[in-house]
Chains A and B, each alone.
Chain A
Amino acid sequence: MQELFSVPMSDVKKELRRGVIECSKRGLLHTTKWLAEMHHGLSDVHIDNAPPDDDRSFSECQLEGIAPAEYSAYFLAKSYYDVREYDRAAHAVRNCESDVPRFLHLYSTYMAKEKRRLDSTTDQANLNEPNQMRDLTDLLATLRSEYGRSRLDGYGIYLYGVVLKALNLNQAAEQMLLNAISLVPMLWSAYLELSPLIMEKKKLLSLQLGKHWMRHFFMAHTYLELYLNDDGLKIFEDLQAAGFSKSIYITSQMALVYHNKRDVDKAIELFQALLENDPYRLDNVDTYSNLLFVKEMKTEMAQLAHKAVSINKYRPETCCVIGNYYSIRCDHQVAISYFQRALKLNPKYLAAWTLMGHEFMELKNTNAAIQSYRKAVEVNKRDYRAWYGLGQAYEIIKMHYYSLYYFKIAHQLRPYDSRMLVALGETYEKLEKCENAVKCYWKACDVGDIEGIAMYKLASLHEKLGDHETAVHCYLLYCEDERAATDKQSLYQGFMTLANYYEKKGDYERAACYAYKCLDSDDRKNEAKALLKTIDWRRSAEEKKKKSSTTTTMANAETSSEEEMEWEQLDARARGPFTSRDDGGQTTTTTTTTAATATATTSSSSSTGSTSSRQPRTVAEGVRRAQSGQRSSTAPAANSTTTATATTTRFTLEAPATSSTSAAASAAAVAAALDETTTSAAEVTPTSSEQQANNDGSSMEISSVSID
């Protein structure tokens, strides 16, 4: 920190004070305001009675640079200037020779022209532009000759730079502004004018800004403009640590940084603090309302809008806040009209174009959205949101190949933003360029996935490509962090896939673990249950096999285990329907027979298992297991939800009938939800066990039955 900022704070405060006096003398209102704000922010530093300069008092400073003979002319001009009669002010000091009145003359001339331009912007016929240029050219000529005779001080050079910039002579303007900065380092407006002329970091670093501490503010400001948030943030943090912690300006800039970095909570926190400190401040409230929008804090937005309107309803920021509010209320038409109003109030208010584009997207007016975004891009080609919006708009009309161009540009502007990468990846996926898509998703994961979706996309893409090993790997990574995943559905999809995978691999422990996780999901529950049953069934089948191959006496000793019991029940159960089918003929699927089998099931189960109280449940479980086995055999990808719903609907028809039977059964501590499946399982039992017998050769008993 020390190397960044080594000036004692008392000196800084003195300098600020001096700057305030100098700028207000010259009518540089915005700089005065900024400096005064900074000065106010240093309220902890006590230099109360110290004069702004070492050898002059306040009053001396205030009159410095004005020849005593010109006092009257200067005071007259300054008062005209303060009431915005610029031409009059310029006239009053036209013949003055000392520095300050002369600057005031030039500056009020400039302001007069500027005011005339602004006044006529709303005119229908735009006749003024050429004259405006002409006026400025006149002023430029005056300034140039003054500069040539080196009669311009730092402030004059600043004005020269401003005029050059207005005439699009950017290179000369840059030079002049740098000159002005080196002469008057406290002139914040000069920094502000210089900032948009710098297009890249390299150039910023190569600027000769001198050694004054003000350069840090400029650097940070420009970093922000270039979206180099981390660089900017670092400087601001350092400045805060150096003693500017109370500065409103720095706090608001930091809030902007956090906004750009998508650190929504932190940014909101800062804005709230700002509003508390300075309740009537309207700068950047549009950003604040954007943040609130992202967080869907509707009430706060309403309050903010209310407040903004009561302060000043003709500020573009206010319009933007109201527009955002209407937007979150889904009143997009009105929102658009407010954004338009913001643009009319300030044609350079760029964000409104992009926001308008978003609204048009909501209204499904794709073309208007495209136009708005395009306009935003034309005004500021670094606006990645608008590029991204363009891509999205074309994506909506299914022009994936076409939208690629826009996503690419958005990605170029924000190379470390996972949203762009995911969008690119999705587009590539649609275009069946899976290699590129994979690369995009991986990069999105690498740069820190904001929406937590890239890994899932990657996994499902691999699954689609048939690369199950990699898919599982990705799902594992994805499911590792359950809480980070925002989209629960995809999370369950991941669990399900993993469960199925491990089930196939024979790793029943893990399969069951993942399947249990799925039980929380409403959609996936049935599927998960079915899988669990299969797992159970297989597991016991394996054990049975092991057991039968070794010794039967061992098995008797272990009948106390629940699984064993179930398995035995299943055997009995499996045999039951088959015998009944032998009697009742071939039809098994009609409802009547199903009902018959259902009753048969209960009767048989009660007859066989009257000894144990939990017997019905175990029967049911066994059947369910069998059913899931059937399902997995018919549809190898056991996760198709359609089959699951089919079974449930079929079951609901019989729900009242079965509930009575299961009422006794539910003495066991199984969730009530399981009952549903019990009956549905009962219904399909015959076919299922038969198929299973066909499929699963490991279960010796059943296969022998089917042969009978």
Chain B
Amino acid sequence: MNLFEELDTLDPSSKVVPPRIETPTPHKIAVLILLKQYVKDKSNSLDTGIAMRPQARRMFCMLMFKLVQEADMPYDKLHNLLTTRPYKLETMMLESFEKAMSEFCGNASIEALFDFAEMQNIDTLHHADLGVSQFSMVGVYVRRIAVVLQRFTFAEMMRMYKNICAYYERGIQALAMGPRKPIAGGILHRAPSPLPVVDTVEVKKEDTDANKIERNPLCKWAPKQAKFFINKQSDLLDHDESNALPPKELERKVQEIIQDLPLNTTSYFLGYMNQLRVRDYYNALSALHRALDRSPVRLMSQEKGYQYFCINLAVLHATFGHRDEALAALRESIMLAQEHGDKRSLNLANTWYCLLRDELPLSYVQRSVADISDADGNLLQNYTLALHFAVKLGTVAGYQPLRLFDLLQHSDHLTNRNNLANHASEALALRSAVWCAYGRHELSALYAQLLLSVRDRFNSNGSAGMGSALASFALWLQLQGEMRLARVLLHRAREQLPRMPGAECWMISQCHVIIQSGIYRCRWHDALKACDQLHLLDPAGAMHQRAAIYVAKREFFNARRLLDKLVAKPELPFLLRMRVQVLLAYCSLAEGRFSSEAVTLLLRVAEEMSDSQMDYELALVDMLLAQVLLLLGMPQKAYQAIKRSMDDIHINGGLYERAKTDFVFVRCLLAIITDMDARKAQLLKSLDILERSAQSFKQLSAHAKVLDVYVFLAQRFNEFGERGLRNKYAGEFRRYFMDHPIPREYLGGP
């Protein structure tokens, strides 16, 4: 009785509690009967000389493992398992099993169980040549059941037998009700032609649905089974949530386990994790407290472990974004850890504390990494995470990439030595992100692809790193004009990471995708809506994007208002701060007024960019500068600027940037040539470039830009008097404009 067990653990007088007998369930007896049939078969095959197929033997062993490890299942489910792939039994064996079961529960009375429990019978299972080894997993399983059965009183035997009968009858009834097969006398007469596989799968699903509603009281969780289940599910929740049981079902299983094994503490924690994944704050909070209150008595008698309670609470609050609460819990944990001299939890708490406060004593981490011993795996993980976090912070603050990669190298060193696959995959994702931030999009995409291709080996299907890699790669594909691929990737990401903490990356990515394509197509409404969504995830980024939309929409007043607001914010990431400046410059450029403001802004940004070695951004600034200079009538300088930037943009830039650079480049080219004929020749020569640029714009459906290119061409040819060509491009313009009407005010932007 569970209650007594609980009382025993709390009894202060008794020192050692003998473990309670783990009662065998009908399922286990059925498994033994099945095993017995197998042993019989095997000895038959030895006698007759007809060897069993090795494949069948292997599958049977696998089946045994599955049955032993996993939770009890009702008879009908067991039967279904035996009749469907991959564990399908051979007909003869299945029939003999069915017969044995029906005989066990049918003709013979309780004597069947007594006969079965006899040592002789069990010994046949443990037979040296034919049976299972005594010391194997299945052997121990058999022996344990046998021992318990031997110790049963008569009344208990009787009840056991009754339970088995009930188990069997219920299963047979369920099978008979199922759409599949008629049953007579407990022996199954299968239809001659096997049903298609799809059908059976459906049947199985239906069955499980039916069983879900009510718990079968005859199935119980044994500690080992529960442990296996909990470990498996919590691992899945950690790494690959989409493959874990759905939340409702998991909750039900957890409740079953708690009911059967109230002293098993991990089940409570699994329940908490499940609540956490559906982001149910109140239930998660109460589940956490329950789980922690239930932590094992004897382990914690010295009051040493309580600091972990606080850390867990802090993690909970951090997950829900309650920063102050989390910090309060962490402070308490740090205090307790110091009091008890628990260095490990102190480290853990400190790490979280830094994480939540967005600050990191880098030197401290580096020093600790240097003198860390390999033995302490937990600390090691901690430091790896700290290193990664440092890299993140460094990137956001715009450090020199050399230092960041140095840190990553450290992390690689640690992870490779200790085979921390998780952290290795995260390091890859981080690398991709860092490269991306420093403008090496090609390399970044490469790392993302690398991570995606090895995800199975890293068992990181649902990790945060994977999410970010998927998201950034999708965005990159979008920028390259591969909209369809991007959409597919995002869809995959959504399936893999359906819920919030993991889902953040792809949600942000998706918002950006919508905003960008909205800007290209002049669909302001969609873009602004996406901005609203983005604001919940990344407020500063959303404001920046909104400003970008306003600039494209030529609502400069609104754009400036937003940008000024952003500039006033003190804690903007470095890259975003720079981009805001660039956008401000762009704003004054697009307004078309001559001002020194744009130039000074751009020059200042360029300086800072080159300081932190962000080459790509620098190139973009140069391109903008070229445009400004062109406008100011300094074509030579503009030409120099655009030439400087073209390499970088063509290597790392998106399709739009590349096309735009081309366009600007041609304009600069034409501007530096004063001679009319030479200009004409130059234009004809660079016609290819412009065509390519128009093509790229078309691919991105940046209609306004396509039209701009045509207008430019038609006007130039008009100037040179090339009527044919002029008419050609004017015609192109007209045709394109009919297909994609764009309001006039959006044409001719820089």
B7, A340: Cβ atoms closer than 8 Å: yes
Which listed residue, B3, B293, B329, touches A347 by the CB 8 Å rule? B3
Is the CB–CB distance between A125 and B152 below 8 Å?
yes
Q: Judge whether A405 and B285 touch: CB under 8 Å.
A: yes
Which B residue's beta carbon lies closest to that of A370?
B293
Q: Mark A43-63, 1 if CB is under 8 A from B, else 0.
A: 000000000000000000000
> Which segment of B157-165, B241-249, B411-419, B448-456 sits at the interface?
B157-165
Q: What's the least CB distance linking B168 to chain A, in Å?
A: 13
Q: How long is the Cα–Cα vector from A368 to B302 in the complex, in angstroms? A: 11
Decide if A521 is an interface residue (CB 8 Å cutoff): no
- Flag whether A122 is at the interface (Cβ < 8 A): yes
Chain B CB within 8 A of A333 CB: yes
Task: Check: A701 CB closer than 8 A to any chain B CB.
Answer: no
* Contacting pair A375 B163 (CB below 8 A): no
Q: Name the one of B1, B20, B300 contacting A121, with C-beta atoms under 8 angstroms.
A: B1
Enumerate B150-174 residues with CB–CB distance to A below 8 Å. Answer: 152, 155-156, 159-160, 162-163, 166
- Tell whether, in the assembled complex, residue A127 and residue B163 are in contact, meaning their CB atoms are under 8 Å apart: yes
B290: shortest Cβ distance to chain A, in Å? 7
Contact string, B336-364, partner A, CB cutoff 8 A, digits 1/0? Answer: 10010000000000000000000000000
Closest B-chain residue to A334, C-beta based? B13
Contact between chains at A356 and B10 (CB < 8 Å) = yes
Check: B218 CB closer than 8 A to any chain A CB. Answer: yes
The answer to the question of A604 belonging to the interface, with a C-beta cut-off of 8 Å to chain B, is no
Q: How far is the CB of A405 from chain B (nearest CB, A)?
A: 6
* A139 shortest CB reach to chain B, Å: 15
Point out the residue from B1, B295, B309 that lies within 8 Å of A122, measured CB to CB. Answer: B1
A336 at the interface (CB under 8 A from B): yes
Is the C-beta of B303 less than 8 angstroms from some C-beta in chain A? yes
Stretch at the interface among A74-82, A172-180, A317-325, A394-402: A394-402
A121-B1, A337-B11, A399-B306 are known contacts. Are A367 and B301 too (CB-CB below 8 A)? yes
| Interface check B313, CB cutoff 8 A | yes
Asked if B217 and A130 sit within 8 Å, CB to CB, the answer is yes
Residues of B within 8 A of A127 (CB): 23, 156, 159-160, 163
Between A123, A343, A371, A378, the greatest number of chain B beta carbons within 10 A of the residue's beta carbon is seen for: A371
What does DSSP make chain A's interface, helix, strand, loop or mixed? helix
Interface-centre pick from B3, B7, B152, B301 (highest chain A CB count, 10 A): B7
From B4, B9, B160, B329, name the one whose CB has the most chain A CB atoms within 10 angstroms. Answer: B4
Partner among A397, A401, A405 whose Cβ is within 8 Å of the Cβ of B303: A397
B12 adjacent to chain A (CB < 8 Å): yes
Q: Chain B contacts of A6 at CB under 8 A?
A: none
Chain B nearest CB from A707 CB (Å) reads: 55
Q: Hey, which chain A residues are within 8 Å of B12, CB to CB?
A: 333, 336, 360, 363, 365, 368
B1-40: which have CB < 8 Å to A?
1-4, 6-7, 9-13, 20-21, 23
| Nearest B-chain residue to A430, judged by Cβ | B332
Q: Are B285 and A125 in contact (CB under 8 A)?
A: no
Contact present for B335 and A398 (CB under 8 Å): yes
Q: In the bound complex, how far is the Cα of B260 from the Cα of A130, in angstroms? A: 12
Is B156 a contact of A401 with CB atoms below 8 Å?
Answer: no
The complex places the Cα of A368 from the Cα of B294 at a distance, in Å, of: 10
Chain A hits for B580, CB < 8 A: none
Evaluate contact between A124 and B293: CB separation under 8 angstroms: no
Question: Are B7 and A333 touching (Cβ within 8 A)?
Answer: no
Say yes or no: is B227 at the interface (Cβ < 8 Å to chain A). no
Known: A398-B336, A399-B336, A402-B313. A131 touches B166 (CB 8 A): yes
**In the complex where A126-B23, A371-B294 touch, is A400 in contact with B159 (Cβ < 8 A)?**
no
**Contact of B300 (CB < 8 Å), options: A134, A337, A356, A367:** A367
A344→B13 CA distance, assembly (Å): 16
A373 neighbours in B (Cβ, 8 Å): 293
> How many Cβ-Cβ contacts under 8 Å join chain A to chain B?
111
Q: Chain A nearest CB: distance from B721 CB in Å?
A: 82
Interface string of B309-335 (1 = CB under 8 A from A): 110010000000000000011011001
A405-B23 contact in complex given A344-B4, A365-B301, A399-B310, C-beta closer than 8 Å: no
**Per-residue interface assignment for chain B, residues 279 to 290, with 1 indicating a CB less than 8 Å from any chain A CB and 0 otherwise:** 000000100011
Q: Is the CB of B301 within 8 A of A402?
A: no
CB-based contact B11/A367 at 8 Å = no
A347 to B7, CA, bound (A): 11
B residues less than 8 Å from A133 (CB atoms)? 217
Q: Is the CB of A402 within 8 A of B310?
A: yes
> Is A134 a contact partner of B166 (Cβ separation < 8 A)?
yes
- Name the residue of chain A whose CB is nearest to the CB of B290: A374
Choose from B7, B21, B310 the contact partner of A401 (Cβ within 8 Å).
B310
Q: What is the CB-to-nearest-CB distance from A339 to chain B, in angstroms, rounded to a whole number?
A: 9
Residues of chain B lying within 8 A (CB to CB) of residue A402: 306, 309-310, 313, 329, 332
B297 interface contact, C-beta 8 A:
yes
A700 at the binding interface (Cβ < 8 Å): no
Check if B303 sits within 8 Å of A366, measured CB to CB: yes
A543: which B residues are within 8 A, CB to CB? none
Q: Does A390 sit at the interface, judged by CB under 8 A?
A: yes
A705–B295 alpha-carbon span in the complex (Å): 74
Looking across the interface, which residue of chain B has its beta carbon closest to that of A125? Answer: B23
- A344, B7: Cβ atoms under 8 Å? yes
Cβ-closest chain A residue relative to B11: A340
Question: A124-B21, A363-B12 given as contacts; is B294 within 8 A of A401 (CB)?
Answer: no
> What per-residue 1/0 map shows which CB atoms of B214-225 lie under 8 Å from chain A?
000110000000
A639 to chain B, nearest CB (A): 30
Chain A residues closer than 8 Å to B162, beta-carbon distance: 131
Nearest-Cβ distance from residue B155 to partner chain A, whole angstroms: 8
Q: B120-179: which have CB < 8 Å to A?
A: 148, 152, 155-156, 159-160, 162-163, 166
- Nearest CB of B to A111, in Å: 19
Q: Which B residues are CB-close (under 8 A) to A343?
A: 3, 7
B328 surroundings in chain A (CB, below 8 A): 401, 431
Contact A367 B303 (CB under 8 A): yes
> Which chain A positions have C-beta within 8 A of B310?
399, 401-402
In chain B, what residue has the closest Cβ to A372? B10
* Contact indicator B10/A368 (Cβ below 8 Å): yes
| Least CB separation from B313: chain A residue | A402
CA distance A402 to B295 in the complex (A): 15
Cβ of A128 < 8 Å from any Cβ of B?
Answer: yes
Taking a contact as CB atoms closer than 8 A, the residue among A120, A130, A400 that contacts B218 in the complex is: A130
Interface pair A371/B297, CB less than 8 Å apart: yes
Residues of A within 8 A of B3 (CB): 343-344, 347
Q: A367-B297, A399-B332, A401-B310 are in contact. List 6 more A-B contacts (CB 8 A).
A: A120-B159, A125-B156, A126-B2, A130-B218, A344-B7, A373-B293
Closest 10 CB pairs of A and B: A374-B293, A130-B217, A127-B159, A125-B23, A401-B332, A130-B218, A133-B217, A367-B300, A347-B3, A340-B7
Residues of B at under 8 Å CB distance from A? Answer: 1-4, 6-7, 9-13, 20-21, 23, 148, 152, 155-156, 159-160, 162-163, 166, 217-218, 285, 289-290, 293-295, 297, 300-301, 303, 306, 309-310, 313, 328-329, 331-332, 335-336, 339
23 contacts between A and B (CB under 8 A): A121-B1, A123-B155, A126-B23, A127-B160, A130-B163, A130-B218, A131-B162, A131-B163, A133-B217, A333-B13, A336-B10, A367-B295, A368-B10, A368-B297, A370-B293, A371-B9, A371-B294, A372-B10, A399-B306, A399-B309, A399-B332, A402-B329, A402-B332
Please report A residues at the B interface, Cβ cutoff 8 Å: 120-131, 133-134, 333, 336-337, 340, 343-344, 347, 356, 360, 363, 365-368, 370-375, 378, 390, 394, 397-402, 405-406, 431
